[in-house]
Amino acid sequence: MNKTRIGATLVLAAFAVFAAAPALVYADATFTAAVTVGNTAPGVNDQTDATTPTQANVAETKATRTITVNSVPTVPVTLTIGTCVITVSSAPAADADCSNNNATIATSTDTTAAAIAARIRTFTGLSDTGHGALTIGGSGSTASFTTTGTETSATPITATLSTGSDFTLTTVNTTGVIPVAQINTVTIGGTVETGDTYTVHLPGPVDASYTVISSDNTTSKIANGLRTAILASAGYGSQAFTAATSTNTVVFTAKTAGTGFTQTSGTTNYPGITEQATFTPNTDVDTHHNYLITINGTSYSANAGSLSDLLANLLSAVNASSAVSCSNTGSAVLCSSSVQGTSFTAAAGVSLIHSSGNSGGGGGGSTHTTTTVTTTSNSSVQDQINAALAKVKALQAQLGTGGAPVSAAFSSDLTIGSNSLDVKALQVWLNSHGFTVSASGAGSMGNETTTFGGLTKAALAKFQASVGISPAAGYFGAKTRAYLAAHS
């Protein structure tokens, strides 16, 4: 819907009588404000990424003892491994639990040397004083016992065999160094929030990071997300380690025992988001409209004849606000909160400017909000037209006499682009009072038109200057109408 000035009734009448005389209309002026990025305060900065390596890059010392079963004993035999005393005979039932330091093997059930060795390999709870828990291995007719923890020196594992029986066991005491694969872990902890970032740096290089999203904000999901980023990193497949997860921990294991690697990790707290608002005017701007940006209740206004000039003027005005920092995007003014985590209110508005004033030196203009001419029914439109026709007929009667119209005939402001009978009446008045619009052709005496152009403006400005109307800008407003009313 087009927007028109007050005095639209005369314009509507002109349309009804003279189809070639369009109404004085300004294009719709719009100015919108939209918060494009909502304000969010920074998160709680207490997330953790504890990095824990094993004994890095060394081969750990281990102790090993191997038992070989050569034959099935015919009499009971006592075998001690670490702190566990094992009885081998045909009478008791098999008991493979050494947690109470006693166990049994039944030769009536395990009837071969290999079966006896296999039974030993099923024992649980084995340990040795000074060594701790023992790991059982071996195959066939052998069973081996190896220390589980890191050893600083290779001392033998306790092992004894009763004598005087035909149960023959070969015991081999071995000490030495057994390579152990390095294991590093990164454990996720603390308060984790959407936007927190976790990073890991490993040789290769492997640089991986994971930023928490709203659906993955538990420590176990973060660990999985970080591992996925590591697996997707360039060159991961050729690295000396593998990556896995265990609840809230990422576990890195060396592919080759005894070959180590270095690793660091870190976190970045969610920084918060600075609120942003975009103020977008219509592209077809004009000097008849004032555009306002309102920040936290304070308005900053500007106008211009082009979009680029308007944006520059608005930017200059709104940068007086300490609450925001603004920039010109080429099609809008973009404002961001000056302090991260501090929001602001934003609004935009546009109003129509009517330049008018009082006679004399210091008058100013007044600004009126643009209104839209609307009708609700055919009968109301006809009423407006009938009223306007009556006024036009009176104006035509005055024009037909060749005399100057009285000032009361003028009811609206006139400027460049105006098109109405009021314009023709003004041209008649100027020509008849010595301020010639045109010496010949359109606008000359007897050839006045309904169009307000540059010639009308120039003639009107001469008249205004001659009688002291300021500014003498060729704009037909309240000052000039008041002068005519007082001197008609």
Q: Is residue 176 predicted with pLDDT exceeding 70? A: no
Of residues 212 and 462, more confidence is placed in: 462
Quick one: pLDDT at residue 12? Answer: 27
Quick one: pLDDT at residue 441? Answer: 87
Quick one: pLDDT at residue 59? Answer: 53
Q: Which of 254-268, 360-374, 431-445, 451-465 has the lowest mean pLDDT?
A: 360-374
- Average confidence (pLDDT) over 181-202: 79
- Average confidence (pLDDT) over 142-171: 75
Query: Per residue in 294-322, pLDDT tens?
Result: 999 999 999 888 999 999 999 999 999 99
CA distances from 471 to 304, 356, 466, 468 (A): 19, 10, 12, 9
pTM: 0.34
Quick one: pLDDT at residue 154? Answer: 64
- Residue 279: CB atoms within 10 A of its CB come to 27
The mean of the pLDDT values for the chain is 75
Quick one: pLDDT at residue 226? Answer: 84
Query: Per residue in 109-144, pLDDT tens?
Result: 999 999 999 999 999 999 998 888 999 999 998 898
Question: Binning pLDDT at 50, 70 and 90, where does residue 356 land?
Answer: very low
- Residue 18: CB atoms within 10 A of its CB come to 15
Query: Per residue in 262-298, pLDDT tens?
Result: 777 777 777 666 788 899 998 888 888 889 999 999 9
Provide the residue type at 298 as one letter.
T
Quick one: pLDDT at residue 459? Answer: 93
Count Cα atoms within 13 angstroms, Cβ side, for 108: 7
- Residue 164: CB atoms within 10 A of its CB come to 7
Quick one: pLDDT at residue 3? Answer: 33
Question: Binning pLDDT at 50, 70 and 90, where does residue 160 land?
Answer: confident
Of residues 307 and 29, more confidence is placed in: 307
Hey, where are the domains in the chain?
3-26+374-487, 31-39+274-368, 48-55+181-268, 61-176
- Average confidence (pLDDT) over 33-52: 62
Quick one: pLDDT at residue 127? Answer: 93
Q: Is residue 440 predicted with pLDDT exceeding 50? A: yes
Q: Is residue 167 predicted with pLDDT exceeding 70? A: no
Quick one: pLDDT at residue 8? Answer: 29
Question: Binning pLDDT at 50, 70 and 90, where does residue 62 land?
Answer: confident
Question: Binning pLDDT at 50, 70 and 90, where does residue 234 land?
Answer: confident
The C-alpha atoms of residue 59 and residue 256 are separated, in whole angstroms, by 11
Quick one: pLDDT at residue 58? Answer: 53
Question: Binning pLDDT at 50, 70 and 90, where does residue 16 land?
Answer: very low
Beta-carbon contacts of 444 under 8 Å, excluding residues fewer than 6 positions away, are: 431, 436, 437, 438
- Average confidence (pLDDT) over 21-41: 57
Instruction: Please state, for a pLDDT cut of 70, what percent of the chain lies above it.
Output: 70
Quick one: pLDDT at residue 298? Answer: 93
Question: Binning pLDDT at 50, 70 and 90, where does residue 484 land?
Answer: confident
Question: Binning pLDDT at 50, 70 and 90, where does residue 2 land?
Answer: very low
Beta-carbon contacts of 364 under 8 Å, excluding residues fewer than 6 positions away, are: 357
* Sheet strand arrangement including 31-37: 31-37, 276-281, 333-337, 324-328
Most confident of 127-141, 189-203, 205-219: 127-141
Instruction: Please state, for a pLDDT cut of 90, what percent of the chain lies above it.
Output: 22
Of residues 349 and 14, more confidence is placed in: 349
* Sheet strand arrangement including 298-302: 298-302, 289-295, 346-354, 366-368
Question: Binning pLDDT at 50, 70 and 90, where does residue 50 land?
Answer: low
Count Cα atoms within 13 angstroms, Cβ side, for 339: 7
Q: Is residue 364 predicted with pLDDT exceeding 90? A: no
Quick one: pLDDT at residue 367? Answer: 35
Question: Binning pLDDT at 50, 70 and 90, where does residue 373 land?
Answer: very low
Of residues 336 and 58, more confidence is placed in: 336
CATH class of 48-55+181-268: alpha beta
Q: Is residue 324 predicted with pLDDT exceeding 70? A: yes
